[in-house]
Structure 1
Amino acid sequence: MSEPTEAEIREEVRAWIADNWDPDRGLVEWRNMLVDSGWGVPSWPKQWYGRELNEVLSAAVEREFKRAGAIGVARTGVRMLVAATLLEHGTDLHKEKFLRRILTGEDVWCQLFSEPGSGSDMAAATTRADLKDGKWIVNGQKLWTTSAQHAQYGILLARTNWDVPKHQGLSFFVIDIEQPGVTVQPLKQMNGHASFNQVFFTDAVIEPEFIVEKPGEGWRVATTTLMHERRGATGLGSWGQGSTGEGRAYDEERAEVATVMEPYKWYPQRAGRANWVIERAKETGKNNDPAVRQEIAKVMTLYNSAQWLSNRARAAARMGRKQGPEGSLGKLIGSHVARAAA
């Protein structure tokens, strides 16, 4: 069977949106319809809520949703990094339990990788997961965790073997953040705001089926997550927002986005929004200072460079090429932008 043309896809999407999009419908109800249709993540496998469309046709779907102002699936926070990781490494049970609720926005996720004593050396993690009576028991601490206070689940990198080289002793888990053994504490910054959290595990329990891949393969799984983070390869871009409209679905989506974006209010560069620095300069009356304007120009130049590198990484992935240095360079530039913007 031949692949549909772009014109055919656009016509089909327009008809579906015309028949189904209602801004007064509840957001979760709408997203469930969208997930069932396959138009929410058209490049995903058909078995998992997609249509297996190529990148060109998926982009055509994106344009039609933008044109109609229809809201897309949930993608704020680390949701789509989790989804991409589970699509590649998860079991059918993981996909059945988590993917739909990621796309509908019913579950919030956080990423539990960084630790107080390891800095950027993620493989030096000392949070431990020990197998006792058939269940994994977790003890330790994670740091710099955004949105943990809102999360139902987290992706966790923990040490399960202390007798092998550090990269080989890590395992990757999905953990229930709302259980009694997990404590989330806001991490206050010097400006009085808390953009991050520290998370403590005290005999937290993970059922055996919620390890991703085999014990000792956590580093391989985590690098998949980081690869998608570095190149911004969510497969969705920023389409289907519809946030400027009126109606119940728009209101609920705005509330969802506001909750996720709240930590970035006083740390906007972490959200990849270097242009927010311009607003801060205006608020403080520094926007006409030549020295400040020059620094802002440098930040914006670096920010655009990072975006272009990220685009190159995504293009390489679409063509089936292994990731080169583009994603890592984009990440490094992004960190430099964050420091400069501060």
Structure 2
Amino acid sequence: MDFDDTPDQAHLRGKTRQFLDEHADELEHADGPYLEEPGTDRVQALRRTQATLFDAGMIGLTWPTEYGGGAGTNAQQAVVNEELHRARIAGPIGHVGLGMCGPTVLGHGSEDQKQRYIRRLLRGDDLWCQLFSEPSSGSDLAALRTRAVRHDDGWHVQGQKVWTTLAQHCRYGIVLCRTDPDASKHRGLTMFVIDMHAPGVTVRPLRQMNGHQSFNEVFLDDVVIDDSERLGDVNDGWQVALTTLMNERMAVGGGGGELGVRSDALIAHAAERLPRLAANQRVLATHELGKVLVDSLAARYTGYRMQTSMERGKRPGPEASAGKLTAVRVAHATADLGQRLLGDDAVLARSRDGDWRWANSAASTPGVALAGGADEILRNILGERVLGLPSDRAPKPTASESR
């Protein structure tokens, strides 16, 4: 794999850098206040930023042109993303739609759904969320209990979802429901597009330990969904959900391996803080810094390898689980080291201080670790589907045991 830009990529990088420099005052920066209530100035500013970047051809580079995309390559999108990071421009507020919901609609939706939804999703005109986890079925997603029952006027949905990211800001979502309670748990599910403003939908934000409210619980009280909003076949929702989950793991762990605070910020932070430490502490911290940076590079290059595989027409597979596991581990280690380098000053860091980002990142990464499946679930996937190990399911009882 050649990590140097091709001439076309170098041209795209220069063009992107020039655009971002010229429009810096119009774009929202990554260090702004966090999102809270719907309709706030920050939310609207982020939506305008996503629209501006989309109009400039910087979002949806790999998506089909007939729905507003650029029909380009993952490498081109990676170049643009790197320049956005360099310029400290906020990433798309619609990242759940871009990374998870949109690919699911593209893969399983009707032509009418694609025409109605995809361009507006890319531009940030409509924000999307993913309604999967429930209070009694998080890691064991297929055990979900939210029911969808078919009537003459459509599907009536009853249940509760939780940990739904940014649901308080969203117009649409994709919701996985049980449509055949008599079928095995993986075979009785169906996926739908849901209007988050429909009667019967109630969103209640959850306060997290980092002080934010990016997660929500969503109550669905006899919400009616037309059959035209179904994604895939009835009772084939698990296969549709796998598309979402694979893309989610790619979104978390396949884009370069850095979540939250980047390694270059950790290097600058260490250069400023290391001289303040005692000699023995400085040796230990320097050793740990080197380990974090090596792991970060390994995660980044693993992400590049997954992107190359997708360039060659392959779908995200179980290797995305390894990328996500590695990316989360690096994020944990980066945030933890950054906070410990502060020493006693970590106690005094406040939400508007530059030092606060270390504590904020440390408190945020546990939530990211759950996205796309907890670590234990991903390790099972790697063991069974990559290493070929036997399933961890309980063995069936023998004849003597069953008597």
Q: Same fold (TM over 0.5)?
A: yes
Confirm or deny that 1:310 pairs with 2:303.
yes
Greater helix content: 2
Q: How does 1:326-341 map to 2 (within 5 A)?
A: 326-337=319-330, 341=336
State the AA in 1 paired with 2:104. T
Which of 183, 188, 202 is the equivalent residue of 1:164?
Answer: 183
- 1:149 equivalent in structure 2: 168
State the AA in 1 paired with 2:107. E
Q: Deviations over 1:271-330 (max 9, x none)?
A: 543659959x98xx8984556666565555444433332221111111123545431111
| 1:104–1:301 Cα change, 3 Å | same
How far apart in 2 are the matches of 1:312 and 1:84? 20
How far apart in 2 are the matches of 1:136 and 1:122? 21
Q: How does 1:1-342 map to 2 (within 5 A)?
A: 40-54=59-73, 58=76, 62=80, 74=92, 76-81=94-99, 82-190=101-209, 193-232=212-251, 271-273=259-261, 275=263, 278=266, 288=277, 289-290=281-282, 298-337=291-330, 341=336, 342=362
| 1:295–1:76 Cα change, 3 Å | farther
Larger RCO: Structure 1 or Structure 2 (Cα < 8 Å, ≥ 6 residues apart)?
A: 1
SS at match of 2:167: coil
| 1:296–1:193 Cα change, 3 Å | farther
For the 8 Å contact 2:161–2:217, the answer to whether it is kept is: yes
SS at match of 1:167: coil
For the 8 Å contact 1:170–1:217, the answer to whether it is kept is: yes
| 1:104–1:189 Cα change, 3 Å | closer
- Which is greater in Rg? 2
| 1:225–1:8 Cα change, 3 Å | closer
| 1:31–1:205 Cα change, 3 Å | same
Unaligned runs of 5+ in 2: 1-5, 28-44, 337-361, 363-403
SS at match of 1:330: helix
| 1:73–1:322 Cα change, 3 Å | closer
Q: CA RMSD in A?
A: 4.6
For the 8 Å contact 2:253–2:303, the answer to whether it is kept is: no
State the AA in 2 paired with 1:326. E
Residue identity (%): 40
How far apart in 1 are the matches of 2:330 and 2:166? 22
| 1:339–1:45 Cα change, 3 Å | closer
Q: CA deviation at 1:199?
A: 1.4
Unaligned runs of 5+ in 1: 239-268
Q: CA deviation at 1:55?
A: 5.2
State the AA in 1 paired with 2:158. N
| 1:329–1:48 Cα change, 3 Å | same
TM-score, normalized by length of structure 2?
0.59
Q: CA deviation at 1:193?
A: 4.4
State the AA in 1 paired with 2:261. R
Q: CA deviation at 1:42?
A: 3.9
| 1:276–1:134 Cα change, 3 Å | farther
Q: CA deviation at 1:332?
A: 2.0
State the AA in 2 paired with 1:141. Q
Q: CA deviation at 1:78?
A: 0.5
Q: Deviations over 1:150-170 (max 9, x none)?
A: 111111111111111111111
State the AA in 2 paired with 1:108. L
Q: CA deviation at 1:212?
A: 0.7
The alignment of Structure 1 onto Structure 2 pairs a total of residues equal to 299
How far apart in 1 are the matches of 2:291 and 2:133? 29
| 1:135–1:77 Cα change, 3 Å | same
How far apart in 2 are the matches of 1:152 and 1:320? 32
State the AA in 2 paired with 1:166. K
